[in-house]
Amino acid sequence: MSDIKSAFENGKAFIPFVTAGDPNLETTEKLLIAMSENGADIIEIGIPFSDPIAEGVVIQEADLRALASGTTTDKIFDMVKRIRPQIKCVLAVMTYMNPIFVYGTDKFMAKCKECGISAVIVPDTPFEEKSELKPHCDKYGIDMVSLIAPTSHDRIKTIAKEAQGFLYCVSSMGVTGVRSEITTDVGEMVRLVKSVSDIPCAIGFGISTPEQAKKMSESADGVIVGSAIVKIIAKYGTECVQPVCDYVKQMKEAIM
């Protein structure tokens, strides 16, 4: 449907995440453009929400900072639409059902299309309830990215058969956050997916170092990093663009 798969055509994809509006939208704008120039293949733009149930403390705090700075969904869409011509990579939005429902599901997907956003990732929408979103995604050509976890077991093949864009493989139990070690057999998860579909698989949750990224990329088609980047943003604030770009470049080189 969308251009998501093109991001995986030239080797392993690096997929950074940022919370829009943290520390402010002006900084997010600079980050999106700069990350696209420094190795990002897909950028996940997080829409801040007061109750992000899949997120650990790092991203929870980023959401609160973003909301406190006056960030709204409309302001995010306006910013993305304005700078989209300057961004070289694919864009996806990560959010929750509540912000989408409150905004209006059909209106939300229409805005994604208008702004050049190719996919939505909604962690609190289980596979069995995707009919709440998928018809609206299909209407506007937006991929609804599915997630699988170490506990998905027999459901992995079922989810993979109907997955769009790429499959988000959750590497660890629990919420997002930096982990010193990832013990899940990611290779087995990916093997189950590939037995029924050729959809790209990207690993997320817990990856923070080039060594971890390299190891995960040996099994998967891409690597997703969120909390480690958000921690850099929290440390440097409005001066975070160069440190984040240095990190993105380092991570991309690790998986090439």
Question: Residues 148-160: what's their mean pLDDT?
Answer: 87
Question: Residues 222-249: what's their mean pLDDT?
Answer: 97
pLDDT value of residue 206: 81
Question: Judging by beta carbons within 10 Å of its beta carbon (0-12, 13-18, 19+), is residue 127 exposed, middle or buried?
Answer: middle
How far is it, in rounded angstroms, from Cα 139 to Cα 7?
A: 22
Question: Residues 198-208: what's their mean pLDDT?
Answer: 91
Kindly list the distances between the CA atom of residue 99 and the CA atoms of 41, 103, 223, in Å, as whole numbers in the listed order.
Answer: 26, 6, 26
In 3-state terms, what secondary structure has residue 251?
Answer: helix
Question: Residues 152-173: what's their mean pLDDT?
Answer: 87
This prediction's pTM: 0.92
Q: 189 is in which domain, residue-wise?
A: 4-255
Mean pLDDT of the chain, nearest integer:
91
Whichever domain contains 13, its CATH number is 3.20.20.70
Question: Residues 191-220: what's their mean pLDDT?
Answer: 92
User: Residue 196: phi, psi to the nearest 5?
Assistant: -125, -10
Residue 9 pLDDT exceeds 50: yes
In 3-state terms, what secondary structure has residue 223?
Answer: strand
Tell me which residue has tokens 């929870």: 60
SS (H, E, C) 92-125: EEECCHHHHHHHCHHHHHHHHHHHCCCEEECCCC
pLDDT value of residue 178: 46
Number of domains in the chain: 1
Question: Residues 197-214: what's their mean pLDDT?
Answer: 92
pLDDT value of residue 1: 41
pLDDT value of residue 183: 55
What one-character-per-residue DSSP string does 144-181 give? Answer: EE-EE-TT-TTHHHHHHHH--S-EEEE-SSSSS---S-
| Pick from 150, 145, 225: nearest CA to 188 | 150
Question: Residues 101-111: what's their mean pLDDT?
Answer: 97
Dihedral angle, C-alpha 102, 107, 113, 118, nearest 10 °:
30
pLDDT value of residue 99: 94
pLDDT value of residue 53: 75
| Pick from 244, 241, 237: nearest CA to 65 | 237
